[in-house]
Amino acid sequence: MPSHYWDESLAERYRHFRYEFADRSLARRTVIIAGGTGGLGAATVALLAREGAEIVAGYRANHDRAEALRSAIEDQFDRQIVLVQGELTSADVRRSYLDAAERLAAERSAPLAGAAIFPGDPARVAFEALDRKTMEASLEANYVGPVLFAKEIGEAMERAAGGSLVLLASMQAVAAFPSSLNYGAPKAALAHAARILAQQWARVRVNVVAPGSTVAGMGGASAQAGKYDRYVEDGAIPRFGRPEDVARAVRFFLEPDNYTTGQVLVVDGGLTLRRDK
């Protein structure tokens, strides 16, 4: 018995090698980039602005940097971004993101299509200095805030037309690194939470991008200090990661017709695979 879901017209196109590849599919759609003014998030904002997306970009406290990004995006792409300030652990801040997205949807006919959640904290605490206070602070910043925000955005999109959520973890979420207990473990929990959320909804996809050693973002200080030089020198990675590498990975998952959910994409140049060779 033939499938009820078979599309013969589609099959006929493929027999003649006629394919459809989306172009600027996020134009006139709203995307939330929490942490969008940071080193990696800003590149994602620029990539989406170039495409014509309507963007709500958030930042924790650096108002001057946020305004500088707003001006740069307007100058380079003639796009206006909306800024939201505050910690994701605050329910009022999370509500402000959604309110801003709803206003854009109404004023610019740009429905909410997705969100990327960048905020976190490097939680650099020496092993011997770990205590309840430092571990709870890392858990709040790297797990609780992002997961609650993902839950709230996902619920909003599931009630509407669906969409895509991208959580930002770290290569330390998939591989054990020395002195990463306070950071790697919450990021690993975040990646597992994304899989659970991906099961939760029918019309919302949830995926994770896990950057490696990059020249921007939270990893920038380590790269600049030479912490990862040996991996370039011994050929484990060809270079340090760049913000554009992460932005392209996030954009892949944000594609409205993407067929992927519940996955972790490690953007590390192969470091976690080759670091012990």
Catalytic center residues: 183
Nearest-angstrom CA–CA distance, 96 and 85? 9
**Sole residue written with tokens 């602070």:** 137
Distances (CA, A) of 65 to 25, 57, 90, 118, 198: 29, 12, 21, 16, 33
For 241, which DSSP code? B
* Strands in the chain per DSSP E: 30-34, 54-59, 82-85, 112-117, 163-168, 204-211, 264-267
Half-sphere exposure of 59 (CA within 13 A, CB side): 20
- CA–CA separation, 245 and 43 (whole Å): 9
Residue 270 buriedness (CB in 10 A; 0-12 / 13-18 / 19+): middle
Closest CA to 29 of 201, 254, 212: 254
- Please state, in angstroms and rounded to a whole number, the distance separating the CA atoms of residues 163 and 156: 10
